[in-house]
Structure 1
């Protein structure tokens, strides 16, 4: 009977570096063949593709390990506050047996406006924090954006599109009026996101099972997948507005309210000569104040293309993570892999670069609710779990896109 080999983070990082070394060797061989034969050998191309796939698989293993290590454990420490202990106990009774009196009394006492028999009951605060912490690890854009908690229906923010009015003047000189400041009123509503895990009564009757842990395990991936897609592609209708859903313009014609882009110069591809120039143009399209905290966001297919690029000195511009909890880098900037970014195609916006903490805001309305439904899918008990979340671009200067097109 064979045993499954479980590797440590250091071993997986070593595997990744070994695979990238093999990738560089095969790619150098391919480039040499192109220079001498006017085309690469089919065997070499196939070898490079297989190594590239191995790189992706090893990176995925490293990502899964990092998530497991970073995932908080619910129930590991007992609540220290008396009200939290009361809420945890009442919530546990509601989840297992459907008894609501304890939760009703507690939430009436707290005068909670975000719960009730129609909308469900708030999960205990420690569980809510842990679910949000898990989402920060699983949802790539949430992990790099700014996150704002609210207790109302939406986040409203005034933003200066021209910068604060200012000027130089001597101590005794009159203060002339500066140009009028342009203020944008931005609104980010929180939309309802739901998941509906099911449990058997036997599971609920098992005292060993931590119900809060179970709920978190069931909803985290569902929430993260929906969020991940919406923060990138969402149209803003009953969901957050993704940064690719805004109007885009060539960076030379950029104005506030649009997202600027730089073109590769070739439809659906990078240029045949000096392909990495497009990436350098993308980086330097961003102002220096945003560039220092810049990150690349791209899908797996785009990342497999940029792995092949080298500088004029022969150094590869992509590098694997240096540790289990690190990220790959491109031109020394972190690379965030997001599956919902489009693959390179004609006029696709497949790579983003920016200071996402200043560019994009995720809005969380406080409170995750659960409504127990033992009737709709007998013999299973459904748990209608909801959270309210919104998002959108809050600073159009802090993000740029790479367009796989002529212009």
Structure 2
């Protein structure tokens, strides 16, 4: 082979080697970058695992990691509360625990079922008439209660005599309209943006507290105008002349005071025997303080504390509900009620709870206008009696 041919061959081989080396270096760099990325991701996962281990045993916060495992309706509802993202609520199906997509004309949305259930639980456990009344869920604007005021007539018959016509019971219809109850808690946008802020619990707690105060007052003293009708709003009459539509009373025997402890015994037995089994006393804290000082003829206190934690105190063997909206002991005041409130007072409510997010009216705070519909009224006037602090 000549020198000319050898040079030509070497000149052709050198570019091929350079090209191969450039390709190899490029692929090696890509491989190196991929390894670095994987190591970085692995380091982040280990860091998150260390944080979870470090905070184990502490109350769970609503972090992004926790939100990843949350139900779709919870994610959507929290997104709406934090940022007002209405699109996050659309497209969800109403199945089981999912959020309803029903939208009110004013832009309000049905609350996440778990939050709504939390509010309902707090209301039911509060010291108000709700805890002992008959509570029903309705879908209409009113709830009708049918009451049999009398018993069907009957008589003895002989084998040969013909039967005689007997009295037919009278049916009374009581209509309980539903009214809108509202609460408007607020929070700063910065607080809502904090991923560690448990917005569900906060909202449920604020709504429940405001609803509980408003309901408790209305169920006792509400005038029925845009609110429930309280049982003390109805006229009261001496139990000796009591008639349907009135609340019967027993006098304490002294003006604005107890004539004697016997007045409480008279109150108990003024209630029909069919109601006494499920009856309870209702009074406020100030009245309870006076009652628990009363003694019988043998010097024993009429009041006894609950035998176990969580059990209500008892007066003459009946539970006592302390409702702060009951009137204080005063002249002619009906400061103590006694009755079977499950039969005597009905609370009708719609099960849904709506929230309207308003980020404009109270900047830099965000207002949450929460509403529900609830009504209440006496459903059996014979099931409730009161102690009137008067001489007669």
Aligned equivalents of 1:257, 1:75: Cα separation in 2: 53
TM-score by length of structure 1 reads: 0.75
Is 1:208 matched with 2:196?
yes
Q: Is the 8 A contact 1:74 1:213 kept in 2?
A: no
> In the alignment, which residue of structure 2 is the partner of 1:147?
135
Q: What secondary structure does 1:102 align onto?
A: helix
Structure 1 stretches lacking a partner, 5+ long: 1-72, 77-83
Distance 1:366 1:235 in 2: 23
Contact 2:219 2:231 in 1 (8 A): yes
Structure possessing the higher radius of gyration over alpha carbons:
2
3-state SS, counterpart of residue 71 of structure 2: helix
How far apart in 1 are the matches of 2:313 and 2:229? 27
Q: Which residue of 1 aligns with 2:283?
A: 298
Deviation at 1:190, TM superposition (A): 1.2
- SS for the counterpart of 1:397 is helix
Partner of 1:101: 87
**Residue 120 (structure 1) aligned to one of 104, 108, 130:** 108
2:355 is aligned with 1:355: no
Q: Following TM superposition, by how much is the alpha carbon of 1:101 offset from its aligned partner in structure 2, in angstroms?
A: 2.0
Cα distance change of structure 1 residues 389 and 74 upon mapping to structure 2, 3 Å threshold: farther
Cα distance between partner residues in 1 of 2:284 and 2:170: 36
3-state SS of the aligned residue for 1:260?
Answer: strand
Output the CA distance in 2 between the equivalents of 1:316 and 1:263: 21
Question: 1:87 corresponds to which residue?
Answer: 73
Tell me the equivalent position of 2:305: 320
1:218 aligns with 2:206: yes
TM-score under structure 2 length normalisation:
0.78
Aligned counterparts, 1:258-407, within 5 A: 258-271=246-259, 275-407=260-392
- Partner Cα separation in structure 2 for residue 173 and residue 293 of structure 1: 42
Q: Deviations over 1:8-61 (max 9, x none)?
A: xxxxxxxxxxxxxxxxxxxxxxxxxxxxxxxxxxxxxxxxxxxxxxxxxxxxxx
State the match for 2:18 in structure 1.
none
Contact in 2 for aligned 1:261/1:402 (Cα 8 Å): yes
5 Å-filtered alignment, 1:38-187, equals 85-106=71-92, 115-118=103-106, 120-169=108-157, 174-187=162-175
**Kept in 1: contact 2:348–2:374 (CA 8 A):** yes
Asked whether the equivalents of residues 222 and 230 of structure 2 are also in contact (C-alpha less than 8 Å), the reply is yes
The answer (yes or no) to whether the contact 1:148–1:361 under 8 Å persists in 2 is yes
SS of alignment partner, residue 147 of structure 1:
strand
The 1-side partners of 2:242 and 2:303 are apart by 29
Deviation at 1:116, TM superposition (A): 2.1
- The CA deviation at 1:139 is 4.2
Question: Alpha-carbon deviation of 1:364?
Answer: 1.4
Distance, in Å, in 2 between the alignment partners of 1:367 and 1:297 is 29
**In the alignment, is the contact (CA less than 8 A) between 2:99 and 2:113 conserved in 1?**
no
Using a 3 Å threshold, how does the CA distance of structure 1 residues 386 and 292 change in structure 2: closer, same or farther?
A: same
Aligned length: 325
Paired position in structure 2 for 1:23: none
Change (3 A) 1:374 1:181: same
Q: Unpaired runs of 5+ in structure 2?
A: 1-58, 63-69
Q: Distance in 2 between matches of 1:167 and 1:107?
A: 59
